[in-house]
Amino acid sequence: MSTDLAHLELVALSKRYGPGTPAVDAIDLQVRAGSYCCLLGPSGCGKTTTLRMIAGHEVATEGDILLGARNITDLDATQRGTAMMFQSYALFPHLNALDNVAFGLKMRGVDAATRRARAAELLDLVAMGAYAQRKPGELSGGQQQRVALARALITNPKVLLLDEPLSALDPFLRVKMRAELKRWQKDLGFSFVHVTHSQEEAMALADQVVVMNAGRIEQQGTPHQIFNAPRTEFVARFMGGHNVLPAGSAKVAVRSDRTLLTRGAASAGEGLAATVQNVEYQGTYVLVTLASNAGEVAAMLPEGAFDVAPWAPGEAATVSWLPAHAHALQA
Q: Report the DSSP pairing between strands 285-292 and 272-281.
A: antiparallel
**Residue 21, helix vs strand vs coil:** coil
**Residue 137, helix vs strand vs coil:** helix
List, edge to edge, every strand of the sheet that includes 326-328: 242-247, 250-255, 326-328
3-state DSSP percent of the chain in helix, strand and coil, to 5:
30, 35, 35
Task: Tell me how far apart the alpha carbons of residues 237 and 171 are, in angstroms, rounded to a whole number.
Answer: 23
DSSP per residue over 68-124, as a string? TTEE-TTS-GGGSSEEEE-TT----TTS-HHHHHHHHHHHTT--HHHHHHHHHHHHH
Supply the pLDDT for residue 108: 85
Render each residue's pLDDT in the chain as its tens digit; 331 residues: 444 678 999 999 999 998 888 999 999 999 999 999 999 999 999 999 999 999 999 999 999 999 999 999 999 988 899 998 887 778 899 999 999 999 988 888 888 899 999 999 999 988 899 999 999 999 988 888 889 889 988 888 999 999 988 887 788 888 888 888 898 899 888 899 999 999 999 999 999 999 999 999 999 999 999 999 999 999 999 999 999 998 888 899 999 999 999 998 766 667 899 999 999 999 899 999 999 988 999 999 999 999 999 999 999 999 999 999 999 998 7
Task: Tell me how far apart the alpha carbons of residues 101 and 87 are, in angstroms, rounded to a whole number.
Answer: 16
C-alpha closest to that of 261 among 238, 279, 235: 279
Supply the pLDDT for residue 303: 92
**Does residue 178 contact residue 71 with C-beta atoms inside 8 Å?**
no
Task: Tell me how far apart the alpha carbons of residues 212 and 195 are, in angstroms, rounded to a whole number.
Answer: 11
The domains located in the chain, with CATH, are 8-228 (3.40.50.300), 245-328 (2.40.50.140)
The backbone torsions φ and ψ at residue 150, rounded to the nearest 5 degrees and listed phi first, read -60, -40
Which residues, in sequence order, are CB contacts of 244 under 8 Å at separation 6+?
233, 236, 237, 251, 252, 253, 294, 295, 329
Supply the pLDDT for residue 267: 67
List, edge to edge, every strand of the sheet that includes 272-281: 260-263, 316-320, 272-281, 285-292, 295-302
Supply the pLDDT for residue 3: 46
pTM of the complete model beyond 0.85: yes
Q: How many CB atoms lie within 10 A of CB 305?
A: 12
Torsion of CA 40, 45, 48, 52, to 10 degrees: -130
**Does residue 194 contact residue 205 with C-beta atoms inside 8 Å?**
yes
**Residue 222, helix vs strand vs coil:** coil
Supply the pLDDT for residue 255: 95
Q: Report the DSSP pairing between strands 24-31 and 8-15.
A: antiparallel
Task: Tell me how far apart the alpha carbons of residues 259 and 299 are, in angstroms, rounded to a whole number.
Answer: 5
Task: Tell me how far apart the alpha carbons of residues 328 and 197 are, in angstroms, rounded to a whole number.
Answer: 25
